[in-house]
């Protein structure tokens, strides 16, 4: 999962679709989310190596990162929509509404996982679900998104990230003969959030909200529907 995000953003940079000249908030956003990815990988390495105490101590950093990720993730979404209309290969309303909902899901499920840290069976599975949920931006930069219009958002934000928990559930079922309920609650909540966000985004209220956010900005010049860039 970490590889997907790092590879996606690295490809974007080396392909010239991203630049160091972007406003500082973009770099701050990237640094904070990268910190979470590094923390997640480090926590798994510590547990695999049997360093439980180190895992517990390092884990408290999550409490500092989660609020920052919430503010920066939602803030960048709104800024992007207003500044240039967001990614052209995504419906503007899906991007503007679905992205914050996805971030709020990630923060919520990660917070629940931290609260359930003493129940390690729930903790590790819910943390896994949270990490899977934020692979969407990575997949969105690796997949041939212009050729997936009008289903690019579904492919990058729902279908591709679902690969990880589905593989985990299948492996668990084959290994133990059952699927832990944390998977159903964790990933089921993600799917529900995605579908509800899409339903709202394409409702009259969602369209009106999107138009209100970008009104009077360059983002209002683009069509609501995704379009082939160029």
Q: Could you report the per-residue pLDDT of 108-156, keeping only the tens digit for each?
A: 999 999 999 999 999 999 999 999 999 999 999 999 999 999 999 999 9
Does a structural domain hold residue 18?
yes
114 token code pair = 């931290």
Does a structural domain hold residue 191?
yes
Give the domain extent around 77. Answer: 2-218
157 token code pair = 């934000």
Does a structural domain hold residue 229?
no
pLDDT at 104 over 70: yes
pLDDT per position as a tens digit, 149-206: 999 999 999 999 999 999 999 999 999 999 999 999 999 999 999 999 999 999 999 9
pLDDT value of position 11 = 81
Alpha-carbon span 169 to 167, nearest angstrom: 5
> CA torsion angle for 81, 86, 92, 98 (degrees, to 10)?
-80
Does a structural domain hold residue 193?
yes
Domain total of the chain: 1
Q: What is the DSSP letter of 118?
A: T
Alpha-carbon span 99 to 91, nearest angstrom: 12
Does a structural domain hold residue 223?
no
Task: Give SS3 for 198.
Answer: helix
Helix H or strand E encompassing 26: helix 24-48
Does a structural domain hold residue 133?
yes
pLDDT per position as a tens digit, 70-102: 999 999 999 999 999 999 999 999 999 999 999
pLDDT per position as a tens digit, 213-225: 999 999 999 999 9
Does a structural domain hold residue 224?
no
Task: Give SS3 for 221.
Answer: helix
Sign of CA dihedral 104, 109, 112, 118: negative
The single residue listed with the structure tokens 């499920």 is 109
Alpha-carbon span 152 to 79, nearest angstrom: 21
């Amino acid at each position: 999962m970490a590889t997907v995000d790092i590879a996606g953003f690295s490809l974007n940079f080396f392909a010239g679709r991203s630049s160091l000249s972007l406003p500082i908030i973009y770099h701050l956003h990237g640094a904070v989310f990268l910190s979470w990815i590094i923390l997640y990988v480090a926590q798994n390495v510590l547990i695999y190596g049997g360093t439980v105490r180190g895992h517990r101590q390092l884990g408290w950093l999550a409490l500092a990162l989660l609020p920052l990720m919430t503010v920066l993730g939602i803030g960048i979404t709104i800024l992007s929509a207003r500044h240039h209309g967001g990614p052209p290969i995504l419906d503007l309303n899906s991007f503007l509404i679905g992205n914050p909902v996805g971030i709020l899901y990630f923060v919520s499920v990660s917070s629940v996982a931290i609260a359930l840290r003493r129940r390690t069976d729930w903790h590790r599975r819910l943390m896994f679900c949270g990490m899977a949920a934020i692979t969407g931006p990575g997949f969105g930069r690796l997949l041939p998104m212009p050729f997936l219009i009008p289903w690019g958002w579904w492919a990058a934000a729902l279908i591709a990230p679902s690969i990880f928990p589905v593989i985990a559930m299948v492996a668990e079922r084959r290994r133990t003969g059952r699927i832990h309920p944390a998977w159903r609650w964790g990933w089921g909540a993600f799917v529900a959030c995605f579908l509800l966000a899409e339903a709202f985004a394409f409702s009259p209220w969602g369209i009106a909200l999107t138009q209100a956010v970008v009104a009077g900005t360059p983002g209002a010049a683009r069509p609501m529907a995704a379009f082939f860039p160029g």
